[in-house]
Chains A and B, each alone.
Chain A
Amino acid sequence: MSTAETTTGGAASPLARIARRLGGGRDNSFGLLAILIALCVVLSFVSPYFLTATNLLNIGRGIAIVGIVAVGETIVIIAGGFDLSVGSVMAASGMIAGFLVTHGAPLPAAFAAALAVGIVVGFLNGAIISYARINPLIATLATLAIIRGLGYVISGGRELVISDEAFLTFGVGQFLGVPYIVILLVATFALFAWLMPRTLFGRYAYAIGSSARAAQRAGVPVSWWRIVYYVTCGLLSALAGLVFVARTGNAQPSAALGIELDVITAVILGGTSLTGGRGRLWGTFIGLLLLGVVNNGLILVGVPAFWQQVVKGSILLIAVLYDELRRNRVEEA
């Protein structure tokens, strides 16, 4: 029986229905949730520190930046695209905000300028991919290099130390014990997870990722929507760039170097198909939590930091292999 069929039966048991809701049905992130819970149980035995509120909030803070970007990346990948330029956008938008704030601009203006950087780069990515028909991997690899390079050129490679109180509060402040940035992370996920099944924005992301040709023939303005998805991803990357500066207290041109590895791992681990058309933000959220817990666990059990990169790469490889297997199974059925 194909995975597609399991979700379509009319009279499923309540448990299966809950599982489908949580896991996004055939994307099977329910299995991932089980792995996450099992890992948490193991870690709570291995380290008494794991289940403390401080540690859990640390995990939350640790995944906030990657998570906000992963929301945008999930949408772009569902729509059949790819965005490697997210880390560069984060650094560039952080630099702009940092520069403006240290030169006396009001904070809202600095934030607006940073977000504008994300929108402009997202627009460029989408326009290049839609109209010049360049492979998204190559197009965004190019903008990754260009934006990162411009960041170094304009800053001269120097980092800026932020002393603006409000900016720093955004990074470290809490509401009822929960860091602002964790609230921002959850709110971003919740907003887009709610929008995806209920709006044209979401519907067309799945349609274009599934078959851009069929969508085009049905009268969907495919190029325009592709640009909208890249702009969304750019905007969320810029927002994450602001969080990065607020947390670390400085804006640097080398910020978030290589962060696309973490972002894409969370997305693919969460069950979004690399070929587009399939995926759920819930899945990405669980994938993100799993990555956060693995990172945290490695530190708690004292694995040297260099090994974390190896583990992350291996998780990505396993997630991609699993995606490939699942796709073949569906196609054979």
Chain B
Amino acid sequence: MSQPLLDLAGVSKTFGPVTALDRVDMQIGAAEAVGLIGDNGAGKSTLVKILSGLYPPTTGTMLFDGKEVHFGSPFEARAAGIEMIYQDLALCGDLDVAANVFLGRERKKRYGPIRLLDRAAMREDARRVMRELGTDIEPERIVGGLSGGQRQLVAVARALQFQPRLLLLDEPTAALSSEKIRVLMGLIEQLKARGVSILMISHRFTDILHVCDRIVVVRQGRIAGELAPHAQPPDRTMAAMHAMMTGDALGAGA
């Protein structure tokens, strides 16, 4: 691999006496999809929150595209090209689809000193990005009236609209039907083909096996190991993942 897009060295995060992450080293290459798995409380969410600018790390360095970065807010992480799709989607239910897609980064047009929202442009762009996702949800629809799967698509559209270089996905399939999961997985393949790197947290091992180039297992705040998903038959990979997550020796326990 040439220079990785993201390079973490010795990243730790403590909350008072609790060590959530302990000297984590990790790389993500350009156009690489990495799956992050681990038990509840293993440190997956903390890691993703650091990457998305929600918390600063306590110690350690973070290189993005070869340059050291310190994100003070999600806004700075996004400006660098890191988009995050939250598990709870973080949408405003009373706003329409277009308003949610552009929330925080609204398009404006100038009339002399006055700047007004460019609602028509935002509607058109939202419609286009929804089409790219293979859905025809109208940009004028109020998000509160959409189904769980449709909301998920809005959250994905929101992240894609800004052409991220690294997309962080926290349990992206939690609210989706199996058919929508296939759509989303196809989409992730498409993004990889376009050169976007992906870090995906998921409890669904099958999703991770399908789309990820590499699987990173975290346990008790540390990287417990890495796996190549297609190096061995799927059931062996699953058993190995499970063993790393729980700390059991391979094949020792159920």
Which residues of A line the B interface, CB within 8 A? 2, 4-5, 7-8, 10, 26, 197-200, 203, 206-207, 209-211, 213-215, 217-220, 277-278, 330, 333
Write the chain A residue with the least CB distance to B93.
A210
Question: Are A333 and B103 interface neighbours, CB within 8 A?
Answer: no
What are the residues of chain A within 8 A of B91 when measuring CB–CB? 211, 214
How far does the Cβ of B139 sit from chain A's closest Cβ, in whole Å?
A: 10
CA distance A200 to B104 in the complex (A): 9
How far does the Cβ of B51 sit from chain A's closest Cβ, in whole Å?
A: 14
CA distance A43 to B239 in the complex (A): 80
CA distance A247 to B103 in the complex (A): 43
Q: What are 22 of the A-B contact pairs (CB < 8 Å)? A: A4-B144, A7-B142, A8-B142, A8-B145, A199-B115, A200-B117, A203-B99, A206-B92, A206-B99, A207-B103, A209-B94, A211-B93, A213-B90, A214-B90, A214-B91, A215-B92, A215-B103, A217-B74, A217-B90, A219-B73, A219-B104, A333-B145
Taking A207-B92, A213-B90 as known contacts, 10 extra A-B pairs with beta carbons closer than 8 A to each other, sorted by chain A number, are A8-B145, A206-B92, A207-B99, A210-B95, A211-B92, A218-B103, A219-B73, A219-B75, A277-B94, A330-B145
Which residues of B line the A interface, CB within 8 A? 73-75, 78, 86, 90-95, 99, 103-106, 108, 115-117, 119, 138, 140-142, 144-145
Write the chain A residue with the least CB distance to B117.
A198
Question: Are A219 and B105 interface neighbours, CB within 8 A?
Answer: yes
CA distance A10 to B105 in the complex (A): 26
Between A10, A207, A215, A217, the greatest number of chain B beta carbons within 10 A of the residue's beta carbon is seen for A217
Write the chain B residue with the least CB distance to A276.
B94
What are the residues of chain A within 8 A of B92 when measuring CB–CB? 206-207, 210-211, 214-215, 277
Write the chain B residue with the least CB distance to A198.
B116
Question: Are B138 and A203 interface neighbours, CB within 8 A?
Answer: no
Question: Are A203 and B106 interface neighbours, CB within 8 A?
Answer: yes
CA distance A217 to B105 in the complex (A): 12
Write the chain B residue with the least CB distance to A7.
B142
CA distance A333 to B64 in the complex (A): 44
Write the chain B residue with the least CB distance to A214.
B90
CA distance A210 to B91 in the complex (A): 9
The answer to whether residues A8 and B103 also contact, given A210-B94, A219-B74, A277-B94 and a CB cut-off of 8 A, is: no
A interface majority secondary structure: helix
What are the residues of chain A within 8 A of B106 when measuring CB–CB? 200, 203
What are the residues of chain A within 8 A of B75 when measuring CB–CB? 219
Question: Are A330 and B90 interface neighbours, CB within 8 A?
Answer: no
Q: B138's contact among A8, A210, A219, A220, by CB below 8 Å, is which?
A: A8
CA distance A8 to B139 in the complex (A): 10
CA distance A2 to B95 in the complex (A): 15
Question: Are A220 and B145 interface neighbours, CB within 8 A?
Answer: no
CA distance A2 to B91 in the complex (A): 19
What are the residues of chain B within 8 A of A26 when measuring CB–CB? 142
Write the chain B residue with the least CB distance to A212.
B92
What are the residues of chain A within 8 A of B116 when measuring CB–CB? 198-199
What are the residues of chain A within 8 A of B105 when measuring CB–CB? 218-219
How far does the Cβ of A64 sit from chain B's closest Cβ, in whole Å?
A: 27
CA distance A219 to B83 in the complex (A): 12
CA distance A219 to B82 in the complex (A): 13
Between A5, A198, A203, A214, the greatest number of chain B beta carbons within 10 A of the residue's beta carbon is seen for A214
CA distance A214 to B92 in the complex (A): 6
Question: Are B104 and A220 interface neighbours, CB within 8 A?
Answer: yes
Write the chain A residue with the least CB distance to B54.
A217
Write the chain B residue with the least CB distance to A2.
B145
The answer to whether residues A8 and B141 also contact, given A199-B116, A215-B103 and a CB cut-off of 8 A, is: yes
Among all A-B residue pairs, the 10 with the closest Cβ atoms:
A218-B104, A4-B145, A277-B94, A210-B94, A219-B104, A210-B92, A219-B75, A218-B103, A214-B90, A217-B90
Write the chain A residue with the least CB distance to B86.
A217
Write the chain A residue with the least CB distance to B76.
A219
How far does the Cβ of B195 sit from chain A's closest Cβ, in whole Å?
A: 24
Question: Are B117 and A330 interface neighbours, CB within 8 A?
Answer: no
CA distance A197 to B106 in the complex (A): 13
Question: Are B99 and A219 interface neighbours, CB within 8 A?
Answer: no
How far does the Cβ of A21 sit from chain B's closest Cβ, in whole Å?
A: 14
CA distance A5 to B91 in the complex (A): 18
Question: Are A278 and B99 interface neighbours, CB within 8 A?
Answer: no
What are the residues of chain A within 8 A of B144 when measuring CB–CB? 4, 330
CA distance A209 to B86 in the complex (A): 20
What are the residues of chain A within 8 A of B108 when measuring CB–CB? 200
CA distance A197 to B118 in the complex (A): 11
CA distance A218 to B92 in the complex (A): 10
What are the residues of chain B within 8 A of A219 when measuring CB–CB? 73-75, 78, 104-105
CA distance A198 to B119 in the complex (A): 8
Between A8, A198, A206, A209, the greatest number of chain B beta carbons within 10 A of the residue's beta carbon is seen for A8
Write the chain B residue with the least CB distance to A3.
B145
The answer to whether residues A4 and B142 also contact, given A200-B106, A217-B74 and a CB cut-off of 8 A, is: yes
The answer to whether residues A206 and B94 also contact, given A7-B142, A219-B75, A219-B104 and a CB cut-off of 8 A, is: yes
What are the residues of chain B within 8 A of A333 when measuring CB–CB? 145
How far does the Cβ of B81 sit from chain A's closest Cβ, in whole Å?
A: 14
The answer to whether residues A203 and B93 also contact, given A26-B142, A214-B103, A219-B75 and a CB cut-off of 8 A, is: no
CA distance A206 to B117 in the complex (A): 14
How far does the Cβ of B180 sit from chain A's closest Cβ, in whole Å?
A: 20
How far does the Cβ of A131 sit from chain B's closest Cβ, in whole Å?
A: 17
